[in-house]
């Protein structure tokens, strides 16, 4: 059995204070490096969770935000660790990008994905969020790329509800799909685990979901439950929802298991009957 190098998944609870969010991320960087991991997966919006659309725009434009990223790039190089992290980037003077970056072990940003599906919901007695108010939607799926834990495909949070992205990544030979998230508590309770396991089973890939967990501010709280799921749909590592400190889980990615399952149960598509994605 060939085991790829160990990977680590971090869970934080970001607030509007970029400085303390960076401290949480850097604690996880140290723990991941100490555990011998080669890759650390961090959640969506690790740089901050703001209290309003206006505050979010101002934070993205602040120098704290660029410092957050350059500090993580320095850490990646320092520790020889690849870091996958969700951040906000400035798209224009009124709009942001909800981005997912791959920082390699030399501290360079080598891949960047912009969230395609934006979270606009108005749930009775539940969350009301309108991400499209200040976020520009991404326009493309990034082809999977080689990493020390296999070929990785990138997606973010609400993208998880759209199997098309996972299937497109699978068609491009992904072995691992990341869904860094900040799921709401009610939707997380109802759907998080089922969606993640479904994406792993239908793509016969590992699914890595680094999540935010805990209260970001008085109005908003995330579900937590960061998870790693194998291509058979089994949960191989999970964190809780309680928030005390940043939490880390480590798990191995067994690329032989990916090939074994794909060989044992080929999912041959009937693209003569329905369109290819
Ligand atoms: O707000 C930011 O700064 C970062 N963005 C997020 O946290 C996004 C948009 S509000 N959250 C989600 O997509 C949750 C999806 C979800 O909970 C579901 O699909 O059920």
Please work out whether the CB of residue 129 comes within 6 Å of at least one atom of ligand 1.
Answer: yes
Please work out whether the CB of residue 49 comes within 6 Å of at least one atom of ligand 1.
Answer: yes
Residue 5 has pLDDT above 70, yes or no: no
Question: Cα separation of 155 and 180, whole Å?
Answer: 7
The band of 4, judged by pLDDT with boundaries at 50, 70 and 90, is very low
The band of 2, judged by pLDDT with boundaries at 50, 70 and 90, is very low
Q: Comparing C-alpha atoms, which of 137, 212, 198 is closest to residue 163?
A: 198
pLDDT, tens digit (0-9, with 9 covering 90-100), for 81-139:
999 999 999 998 899 999 999 999 999 999 999 999 999 999 998 889 999 999 999 99
Question: Cα separation of 90 and 70, whole Å?
Answer: 15
Residue 243 has pLDDT above 80, yes or no: no
Of the candidate CATH numbers 3.30.413.10, 1.10.3720.10, 3.60.110.10, 2.40.50.180, the domain formed by 7-264 belongs to 3.60.110.10
Please work out whether the CB of residue 209 comes within 6 Å of at least one atom of ligand 1.
Answer: no
**Shortest-distance Cα residue to atom 13 of ligand 1:** 158
Please work out whether the CB of residue 187 comes within 6 Å of at least one atom of ligand 1.
Answer: yes
Question: Cα separation of 9 and 147, whole Å?
Answer: 15
The one-character DSSP state at 112 is E
How many angstroms does the Cα of residue 143 sit away from the middle of ligand 1?
A: 23
Atom number, ligand 1, closest to the C-alpha of residue 156: 13
For 119-122, which contacts have Cβ atoms below 8 Å and span 24 or more sequence positions? 119/157, 119/158, 121/187
pLDDT, tens digit (0-9, with 9 covering 90-100), for 13-34:
999 999 999 999 999 999 999 9
Cβ distance 192 to 240 under 8 Å? no
Atom number, ligand 1, closest to the C-alpha of residue 191: 20
The band of 244, judged by pLDDT with boundaries at 50, 70 and 90, is low
Return mean pLDDT, the chain: 95
Atom number, ligand 1, closest to the C-alpha of residue 212: 7
Interface predicted TM-score (ipTM) of this complex, two decimals:
0.94
Cβ distance 228 to 208 under 8 Å? yes
pTM: 0.96
The one-character DSSP state at 211 is B
The one-character DSSP state at 136 is P
Residues taking part in catalysis: 44, 115, 157
Residue 1 has pLDDT above 50, yes or no: no
Q: Which positions ≥6 away from 34 have C-beta within 8 Å? A: none
pLDDT, tens digit (0-9, with 9 covering 90-100), for 38-60:
999 999 999 999 999 999 999 99
Residue 175 has pLDDT above 60, yes or no: yes
Angle subtended at Cα 41 by Cα 133 and Cα 265, rounded to the nearest 5 degrees: 100
Question: Cα separation of 216 and 253, whole Å?
Answer: 31
């Amino acid at each position: 059995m060939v085991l790829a190098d160990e990977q680590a998944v971090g869970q934080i609870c970001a607030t509007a204070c970029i400085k303390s969010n960076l401290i949480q991320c850097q604690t996880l960087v140290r723990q991941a490096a100490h555990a011998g991991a080669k890759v650390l997966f961090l959640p969506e919006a690790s740089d901050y969770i703001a209290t309003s659309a206006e505050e979010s725009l101002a934070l993205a434009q602040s120098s704290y935000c660029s410092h957050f990223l350059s500090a993580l790039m320095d850490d990646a190089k320092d520790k020889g660790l690849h870091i996958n992290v969700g951040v906000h980037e400035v798209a224009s003077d009124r709009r942001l990008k909800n981005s997912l970056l791959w920082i390699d072990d030399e501290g360079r940003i080598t891949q960047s994905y912009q969230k395609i599906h934006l979270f606009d919901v108005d749930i009775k007695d539940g969350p009301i969020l309108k991400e499209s108010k200040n976020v520009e939607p991404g326009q493309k799926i990034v082809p999977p790329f080689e990493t020390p834990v296999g070929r990785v495909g990138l997606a973010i949070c609400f993208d998880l509800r759209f199997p098309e992205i996972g299937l497109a990544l699978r068609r491009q030979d992904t072995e691992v799909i990341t869904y860094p998230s900040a799921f709401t508590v009610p939707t997380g309770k109802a759907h998080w685990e089922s969606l993640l396991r479904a994406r792993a089973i239908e793509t016969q890939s590992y699914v890595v979901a680094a999540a935010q967990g805990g209260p970001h501010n008085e109005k908003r709280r995330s579900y937590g439950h960061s998870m790693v799921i194998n291509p058979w749909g089994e949960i191989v590592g999970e964190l809780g929802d309680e928030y005390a400190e940043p939490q880390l889980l480590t798990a191995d990615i067994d690329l032989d298991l990916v090939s074994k399952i794909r060989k044992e149960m080929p999912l041959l598509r009937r693209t003569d009957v329905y369109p290819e994605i």
